[in-house]
């Protein structure tokens, strides 16, 4: 089974803007980035699955108009911090979260542990799909969680995994794992 993990293209946001679940526009470079991504994919794809965020579905539609959306592929829910910048978030809340981002959630958001549970639900279902070539268009957090699982990287080291905008990561998995 070939799985192509793709991070959405560059968003049009200011540095430090918190937009996990917030729908944000894409940068003007979308067309160029899209072409680079499509050029890295095989001509035949069995299935395209996308996060419901428009920054993912716009690319999914360009790859295969019959793509499916899955809520499990959403980025971390930053709750009350969504739409703010890091320098405007309450410092004590931010420090509490960064001290234990695995188990602590931003106010009204979700913890990394909760996000990991939903991403792993998706992943375990995906491994039972009959398709051989699957494209997944999602976010850096989701890709990091999948790569951490595949490479046995502990969650506390998750941010050591670098995932660029528009990056395509190919996973070759044995069938029936």
- pLDDT tens, position by position, 88-118: 999 999 999 999 999 999 999 999 999 999 9
Question: Which CATH class, in words, describes the domain spanning 2-172?
Answer: alpha beta
**How far is residue 134's CA from residue 18's CA, in Å, rounded to a whole number?**
29
**How far is residue 114's CA from residue 119's CA, in Å, rounded to a whole number?**
9
Q: What are phi and psi of 60, to 5 degrees?
A: -55, -45
**How far is residue 61's CA from residue 71's CA, in Å, rounded to a whole number?**
17
User: What predicted TM-score, i.e. pTM, was given to this entire model?
Assistant: 0.95
Composition of the chain by helix, strand, coil, percent to 5: 40, 15, 45
Mean pLDDT of 10-19: 96
Summary mean pLDDT of the chain: 96
**How far is residue 26's CA from residue 9's CA, in Å, rounded to a whole number?**
7
Record the tokens describing residue 157, joined without a space. Answer: 């080291």
Record the tokens describing residue 101, joined without a space. Answer: 């981002």
Mean pLDDT of 84-88: 96
Mean pLDDT of 11-17: 96
Mean pLDDT of 151-174: 96
**How far is residue 139's CA from residue 54's CA, in Å, rounded to a whole number?**
11
């Amino acid at each position: 089974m070939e799985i192509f993990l793709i991070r959405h293209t560059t968003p049009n946001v200011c540095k430090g803007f918190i937009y996990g679940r917030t729908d944000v526009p894409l940068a003007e470079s979308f067309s160029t980035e899209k072409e680079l991504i499509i050029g890295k994919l095989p001509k035949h794809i069995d299935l395209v699955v996308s996060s419901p965020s428009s920054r993912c579905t716009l690319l999914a539609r360009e790859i295969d108009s019959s793509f499916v959306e899955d809520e499990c592929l959403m980025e971390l829910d930053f709750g009350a911090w969504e739409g703010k910048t890091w320098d405007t978030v309450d410092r004590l809340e931010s420090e509490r979260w960064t001290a234990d981002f695995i188990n602590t959630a931003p106010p009204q958001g979700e913890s990394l542990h909760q996000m990991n549970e939903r991403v792993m639900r998706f992943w375990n279902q995906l491994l039972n799909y009959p398709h051989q070539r699957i494209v997944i268009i999602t976010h850096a957090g989701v890709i990091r969680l999948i790569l951490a699982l595949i490479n046995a990287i502990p969650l506390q080291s998750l941010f050591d995994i670098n995932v660029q905008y528009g990056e395509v990561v190919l996973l070759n998995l044995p069938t029936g794992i």
